[in-house]
Chain A
C-alpha cells in the first residue's frame, strides 16, 4: 500500500527501475495511474478467498485455511487451500481447450476437446478429500524445506466430471501401461517455456478407480481458476499434487512417470524409517500414495473460554486416504484417557467423515482437546510427530484446540 503511493509520486526512472524495464510511453501516463505491474494484488479478492485464510507464499501462490474455517461439510471455494508450483495460466478459452493422450502405452495418440469430453462420456459427481502431501510440514524437527503448512492444506469439495477410466478405455491402451502422468498449462516460475512446474501422476490402478475424474465442475460450478479451471484431474485420498490442475495432456507410461516432482525427494518419503535429520539417498525414497488417517477439530475455534459446569460441543472431519475412518476419539488429558466421538459414514468413498462429541470438564483450568482418528485397518494418528522425513510430508499428528474453563 505504502509502496504504491511512493512509487506514484516518484520519478519515472525509479518506476522503471522497480519494474526492471523502461516504461516506453512513460510520458503519456495519466497522473495517479498505477501500473499493473506494481499493483499489489489482493489474493483474497482475486481468488474469492476469505480474508482469514493465510498466505504462505505469493509467488507462486500458496494459501491455507485455519482449522475453524473448514467447518463446512462440503468445503466452499472461499475456504479451500491453494497450492501452486508455477504461475497460474492466463487467457484460458474453455471452448478451445483440449486434452491430448500420448505416451509409450497408448495404441494411438488421441485428443479430445473439453466439449467432446463432456458430451461423449457419462458425468459423475463425488465429494473428494484433497490434502497436500506437505500439510503439517511446519511441525517437523529438524525443519523440512518448502511451504510451511500448518493444518489447513486440506479440502473436501464435490467434483463433477468424467471418469478417467472411461476416457482411457476410449483412447485404447497397450498391455504394458503402468502409470499415467499429467501435463498442464501452468508455467514455470523461471519463465522457461520448456519447463513444466509440475507433472505428476498415478499408477493405473488409481487411474482406473470409479472416483478418479477428469473434472470440470467444483461444487456444481465451473472450477475456480486457482483450482484448475477448466479441467482438473481429481484423485481423492492421494497427495493433492496427483490431482493436476489446468490439465491439457495425459501420458500413459510403460514405467513410473518421471515428470517434474515425481523424482528425487519430491512427494516421496524414505522407504525405510530414518532418524530425524538423517540423509537419505534419492534411490531410498518411495513415492507417497494413499494419505494417512487424520482428523481436524473445526468447531469450536481454538481459544474458547467456557463456564465451569457447561459442556462443550465439538465437531470436525476425519479422513484416511484410500481407507475409511473406523473411529474418532477425543481426549482432554493429553491422551491419558480417550472417549469415543459420534462418527458418520462418508457420503461416498474418499470423502471425509464428520464426527462430533459433547465434552465435559472436571474443574476450572486450561485444557487441550485432542482428536484421534483410527482407520479401517486399525492405524491411528500419533500424538507426537510421525516419522521424520527429509521433505516433511505426512504429518498426521493429532489435532488439538485450547480451551479454558472459568
Chain B
C-alpha cells in the first residue's frame, strides 16, 4: 500500500473513532443534563401514575383544606370550622349538616333539639362560634315556589 493511501486510511479510522466517542459523550451529557432536570423520569411515566403520585402528596394533612373545603368532611373553610368538625360529626355524618340550610335561629333550635333528645353535650362557649359558622356558611337562599330544572345532562335519545 502506498504510504499516502495508508495515512489516509488511518486518518479515516481515527476520525470515525473520534466521532463515535464524541457521540457517546454527547448522549451521556444530554442524559446527565436531563437527570438534573427530571431525576424521577416522570416524563416517561403515564399521566395516571403521575396523578397517583400527586394525590398521595396532597393528603399529607388529616385536616387538609383544598379549594376552601375541608377535604375530610366537606365543610366550607371558615372561622369555627374545627369546632364544628369536632362537635358535629361524632354521632352523624357531616353530610347531614352540609345538605341543610338554616338561619341562626334554625341552627340554634336544631342544636337545642339534639341536646334535649339526641344526647348532644353542652357546647358551652363553643356554641356561639359554632352557630355563627353554620348560619354564615349554611344559610338559606330563596328558592321560590318552584325552581328551574338545573344540572341537566343532555344526551341524544335514539329511537
Contacts and interface: CB of A to CB of B under 8 A. Distances in A.
Interface of A: 2-3, 5-6, 14, 18, 55-60, 139-143, 145-148, 188-190, 192, 195, 300-307, 310, 312, 368, 383-385, 397, 400, 402, 404
Contact of B159 (A6, A55, A59, A310): A310
Contacts of A383: 146
6 contacts: A58-B93, A139-B146, A141-B142, A141-B145, A143-B140, A190-B91
Main secondary structure of the interface of A (DSSP, over half): loop
A302 B149 contact: yes
Contacts of B154: 303, 305, 404
A312 B159 CA distance: 8
B127 to A, nearest CB: 18
Contacts of B153: 303
B156 A57 contact: no
A147 B56 contact: no
Contact of A2 (B59, B155, B156): B59
8 tightest A-B CB contacts, nearest first: A190-B119, A59-B93, A141-B143, A304-B157, A6-B59, A2-B59, A384-B145, A189-B91
A123 B34 CA distance: 77
A375 B33 CA distance: 79
A312 B110 CA distance: 46
Nearest to A143: B101
Nearest to A59: B93
Given A145-B100, A302-B149, A305-B154, A5 B59 contact: yes
A143 B102 contact: yes
A2 B99 contact: no
B56 A400 contact: no
Main secondary structure of the interface of B (DSSP, over half): loop
Contact of A60 (B92, B101, B120, B159): B92
Contacts of A146: 100
Q: How large is the interface on B (under 10, 10 to 19, 20 to 34, 35 or more residues)?
A: 35 or more
B60 interface: yes
B119 A139 contact: no
Contacts of B156: 304-306
A5 B152 CA distance: 35
Contacts of B56: 2, 5-6
A189 to B, nearest CB: 4
A188 B92 CA distance: 10
Contacts of B9: none
A118 to B, nearest CB: 36
A307 B158 CA distance: 9
Contacts of A385: 145-146
A57 B95 contact: yes
Contacts of A145: 100, 102, 106, 110
B93 A14 contact: no
Nearest to B56: A5
A310 B96 CA distance: 44
B157 A306 contact: yes
Given A2-B56, A6-B56, A400-B149, 20 more contacts: A2-B55, A6-B59, A6-B60, A6-B62, A60-B93, A141-B140, A141-B142, A143-B100, A143-B101, A145-B102, A190-B119, A302-B152, A303-B152, A303-B154, A304-B156, A304-B157, A305-B155, A306-B156, A397-B146, A402-B149
